[in-house]
Amino acid sequence: MAISEYAAVALVAGGAFFGLVAAVGLVRLPDVYTRTHAASKSDTLGAVLALGGVALVIDAQLATVKAVFLLLFMFLTNPTAAHAIARAARDQGIEPWTTDDADAGGEP
Amino acid sequence: MADSVTLRNTVAYAVEEAAAASDGAPATIHFVVFESARAVDPTGPADLGDDHELLDRVSVWADEDRAGQEASVEVELAVVGADRYLFSPDQYADALADYAAAHDVDRVVLDPEYDPGSGAPMLWPLATELQRRDLDVEEAPVERPRRQTVLGRTGTARKYVAIFGASFLFYQALGAWTTFDLVTGGLTAGLVAALLAPIVFGHQPSLTHLAVQTVRMAVYAPYLLWEIAKANLQIAYVVLHPSLPIDPEMVEFDAAVWGDTPVTTLANSITLTPGTLTVDVTEQSFVVHSLTEATRDGLFEGSLERAVRFVFWGRAAARIPSPRERGEEGDDG
């Protein structure tokens, strides 16, 4: 295997790892805000790493450019969507979970 | 002038006018504020802190606007009225006229939202008094804020060309440079330019300015990537830790960045850096949800904010104190 292929494997593996972290976080974290953290960021990095791996191994020039564009748009749209969700939650008056809730017997 | 909603546009107008009036010879603008602390407490000492902070901000704006002008424009900053107690419009006008005489100023531009009297409308009497002292007075013809922000600004040829070029090149990057792609790309880019040119740029795009920002952005991107990677590992640790050590809290702070694009950049950067999530932004006031104590600390250290200021205004602006030093730390109620 060429070096670029090793690098691509490492990137995709990293992407898969952060995708897993995002999924676990989504299940384990207590409320909408904290879950948005997991869903938006670990997810962004996961997708970006995977796309980076793709861009490395695809030989066709054009496809690489497209992968890089996808990567850029990922960085622009993911935080925007996360912000929209969090803002909607706040507008609905949802109180953020704090450690006090955990002491009061709320689900961790 | 003083802090007001139309101040930003007034500064832009003053710079444009000065550049237009210069005729090759360098023109000088003096940005002047009246000492403000004693308007509230006449017996107290003159406190120039707020006034200087305002002037610093104005000078950053003026530098930004000057970058787009060919004529050379000098900027002077001043606080007047620190040595006396100002009460009536003619006292304000006297103070300003003295300053104008001392610095050879013949034209005064007033911010239309400026109001020296605390509460009582005093701009009109002030303008009249200034005219009586042989000064050329005008209010800056800027748009007052509306309930709904106006998206439409005036489109100029340069804006159309910039948008058209960008969208055409993007289209060709995805296409294949065939005749078909060139024609459809031209049509699409034309449509995009017609619809979006009046909206996208806040002020005239200039090639040098854009190039400088692109270079700084290229410096910023790796830094942001590094921050993202580092912080993602922290979050992975927190999420996978058996006891889930989180301490989420909503915090509020005022960021020292101004303008639509910089604020958006900062907001998205904050969201991308794990552990912090921008929930709401109004003007410069950010509401941020943070996952752990450590991420809150990172936020108030202000390194992201500093980096964004560097991208848009250069190294001088990066030296503005961090939110912690400014005492902006505050919990959301």
Query: Chain B contact for A21, CB < 8 A?
Result: yes
Burial B21-45 (b: 16+ CB within 10 A, else e): ebeeeebebbbbbbbbbbbeeeeee
| Same domain? B220 vs B179 | no
pLDDT, tens only, B196-249: 877 766 566 667 777 777 787 788 788 888 877 877 887 788 878 777 777 777
CA dist A53 → A3, A43, B236, B242 (Å):
12, 15, 21, 31
Are residues B194 and B238 part of one domain?
no
Which stretch of DSSP H or E encloses residue B28? strand B27-34
CATH of the domain at B127: 3.40.50
Per residue in B6-37, pLDDT tens?
677 777 777 777 767 665 566 777 777 776 55
CB B286 within 8 Å of CB A94 = no
Q: What is the pLDDT of residue B302?
A: 67
- Whether B134 and B193 share a structural domain: no
CB B74 within 8 A of CB B29: yes
In terms of domains, do B68 and B167 share one?
Answer: no
- Tell me: do B213 and B195 sit in the same domain: no
Decide if B99 is inside a domain: yes
Q: Does A70 touch chain B (CB under 8 A)?
A: no
Q: How many domains does one find in chain B?
A: 3
Q: Does residue B211 sit in the same domain as residue B304?
A: yes
Q: Are residues B32 and B91 in the same domain?
A: yes
CB B279 to CB A86 under 8 A?
yes
Q: Are residues B175 and B135 in the same domain?
A: no
- Flag whether B134 is in a domain: yes
B231 or A12, which is more confident: A12
Residue ending a domain, among B112, B139, B166, is: B139
- Residue that has been written with the tokens 């800027």 in this structure: B142
Q: Which domain holds residue B99?
A: 7-139
Identify the pLDDT of residue A83.
Answer: 82
Which regions of chain B are under pLDDT 50?
147-149, 331-333
Q: Are residues B121 and B13 in the same domain?
A: yes
Give B231's contacts in chain A (Cβ within 8 Å).
41
Higher pLDDT, residue A84 or B285: A84
Q: Taking CB atoms and an 8 Å limit, are A76 and B268 in contact across chains?
A: yes
For residues B16 and B91, membership in a common domain is answered with yes
Residues of A in contact with B236 (CB under 8 A): 17-18, 21, 42
Interchain pair A29, B246: CB under 8 A = yes
Q: In chain B, what residues touch A17 (CB-CB under 8 Å)?
A: 236
Contacts of A75 in chain B (CB under 8 A): 268, 272
pLDDT of residue B332: 42
Residue B333 within a domain: no
Nearest to B173 among A30, A65, A97 (CB): A65
In a domain, B2, yes or no: no
